[in-house]
Amino acid sequence: MAIKNADRNFIERVFEEAYQKGLSAAPSGHKADYIPELAKADENAFGICAMDKNGEFVGIGDIDTRFSMQSISKVLTLSAAIEIMGFDEVFSNVMFEPSGDGFNSIVKLDTVSNLPYNPMINAGAIQIASMLADNVSFDNLLDFAREFCHDSKIELNEPVYRSECETGDRNRAIAYLLKSKGVLKTDIEKTCDLYFKMCSLNVTARSLAGMGLIISNDGVNPFTERRYISHENVRTLKSIMFSCGMYDRSGEFSVKVGVPAKSGVGGGIVCAARGPLGIGIYGPALDCKGNSAAGVAAMEHISSSLNLHIFD
Ligand code: GLN
């Protein structure tokens, strides 16, 4: 799907309809409050935008509002980890199976498997953070995030970061459990600190569209032609986003939307649609699984109207 001039009116109409569907769905959701700073978000905020490889852009609503990327950072850290350490090393420390459990669940990690189910849930991302912590600095990852999102203004959201540190005991518990099993081998506080910082990076829906575009464009920034992820690794990344990116709603999202995507409890969703087309969404009212309620409704409409389902 490219945003060609001939199709622009049609695409803009689809986005306007999706925006209305999202607005209608938003009241069924609630903003996250288990990280107190996230409860300050405006529950009515909503924005969707898309960017194609020619730089053509459509956007509607709150597409430049800053919010913390939260679990969407798991896409960045997985990308960095497989590029730096390689597939075999990464996936001997974390699996790639959908967990079917909540994003912060600890149950199967304790009772069923020693390795985290996948890198898109907290346990997996904490394991990835531990592997990165001794190999790369937060500043390097911040630069990576800025380039990957075409957004030099991405910064650490200090209040969200402090809030995560103060209330992150469940994540520390996951890290201690991983350490007790001999999987996590680095310092717990250093690992959690990197995980919390990455969750607290401030992005916009526009930056997420840029990120989705690089992923959908085989890991290459189409404007600079710089490759960030190898073809093999971006294929792995998209597969894991497709099967695990929307927590325990990933199956439903794959069936109804059919686009590799990742959500975060800050209200963001990044989608890497074919075309290549990057789609970024902000809507902090979350469904019971932790995905933007407005964003999921909007994506169902966009995907069916623009034939974006990968099996269409
Ligand atoms: N920082 C959040 C947490 O660790 C990220 C979770 C999410 O976005 N689902 O709980």
Residue 62 · residue 282 · CB < 8 Å:
yes
Question: Which is catalytic among the residues 19, 117, 195, 282?
Answer: 195
Instruction: Give pLDDT, residue 108.
Output: 87
CA of 245 to the centre of ligand 1 (A): 13
Residue pair 148/228 in contact (Cβ under 8 Å)? The answer is yes
Residue 31 reports pLDDT greater than 80:
yes
Average pLDDT over residues 69-84: 98
Q: Pocket of ligand 1, candidates 105, 120, 265, 270: which has the most ligand atoms within 8 Å of its Cβ, to mutate? A: 265
Report pLDDT for 1: 62
Ligand 1 contacts CB of residue 163 (under 6 A): no
Q: Is 162 exposed, middle or buried (0-12, 13-18, 19+ CB in 10 A)?
A: middle
The predicted-structure confidence for 46-64, as pLDDT tens digits, reads as follows 999 999 999 999 999 999 9
Ligand 1 centroid to residue 125 C-alpha, Å: 10
The whole-number pLDDT of residue 7 equals 84
Which of 38, 70, 270 best tests ligand 1's pocket when mutated (most atoms within 8 Å of CB)? 70
Ligand 1 nearest-atom number relative to CA 125 = 4
Q: Each residue of 123-140: pLDDT tens digit?
A: 999 999 999 999 999 999
For the chain, what's the residue count? Answer: 312
- Scored b (16 or more CB within 10 A) or e, 99-129 reads bebebbbbebbeeeeebbbbbbbbbbbbbbb
> What is the pTM (predicted TM-score) of this model?
0.97
SS3 category, 66: coil
The residues pairing with 21 across neighbouring beta strands, listed in sequence order, are: none
Q: What is the pLDDT of residue 238?
A: 98
Q: 293 pLDDT exceeds 90?
A: yes
Q: Is the CB of 171 under 6 A from ligand 1?
A: yes
Whether the per-residue pLDDT at 4 is higher than 90: the answer is no
Tens digits of per-residue pLDDT, 266-279? 999 999 999 999 99
C-beta 193 within 6 A of ligand 1: no
Residue 6's contacts (CB-CB under 8 Å, 6 or more residues apart) are: none
- Mean pLDDT, the chain, integer: 96
Does 103 contact ligand 1 (Cβ within 6 A)? yes
Asked whether 127 lines ligand 1 (CB < 6 A), one says no
Backbone angles phi, psi at 251, to 5 degrees: -65, -50
The position carrying tokens 């079917």 is 100
- Sign of the C-alpha dihedral computed for residues 216, 47, 269 and 228 taken in this order: positive
Whole-number Å distance, alpha carbon 71 to ligand 1 midpoint, is 5
Q: Is the CB of 167 under 6 A from ligand 1?
A: no
Q: How many CB atoms lie within 10 A of CB 263?
A: 30
Quote the pLDDT of residue 45. Answer: 97
What crossing angle do the helices spanning 122-133 and 188-199 adopt, rounded to 10°? 110
| Cα–Cα distance for residue pair 218/231, rounded to 1 Å | 6
pLDDT in tens, 160-192: 999 999 999 999 999 999 999 999 999 999 999
Q: Is 70 in the pocket of ligand 1 (CB under 6 A)?
A: yes
CB-neighbour burial class of residue 268 (10 A; exposed 0-12, middle 13-18, buried 19+): buried
Average pLDDT over residues 22-46: 96
Residue 5 pLDDT > 70, yes or no? Answer: no
pLDDT in tens, 235-273: 999 999 999 999 999 999 999 999 999 999 999 999 999
Q: Is 290 in the pocket of ligand 1 (CB under 6 A)?
A: yes
**Ligand 1 atom showing the smallest separation from residue 264 Cα:** 8
CB atoms within 10 A of CB 97: 15
DSSP of 181-201: TTS--S-HHHHHHHHHHHHTB
CA 73 to ligand 1 center in whole angstroms? 9
Query: Ligand 1: distance of its center to the CA of 53 in Å?
Result: 30
**Is-catalytic flag, 74?**
yes
For atom 2 of ligand 1, the residue with the nearest CA is: 70
- Band of residue 287 on the pLDDT scale cut at 50, 70, 90: very high
pLDDT digits (tens, 9 = 90+) for 209-218: 999 999 999 9
Kindly state the tokens that stand for 298. Answer: 């909007």
pLDDT at 102 over 90: no
pLDDT, position 6: 60
Q: Is 190:132 a contact under the CB 8 Å cutoff?
A: no
The H or E element that residue 47 is part of is strand 47-52
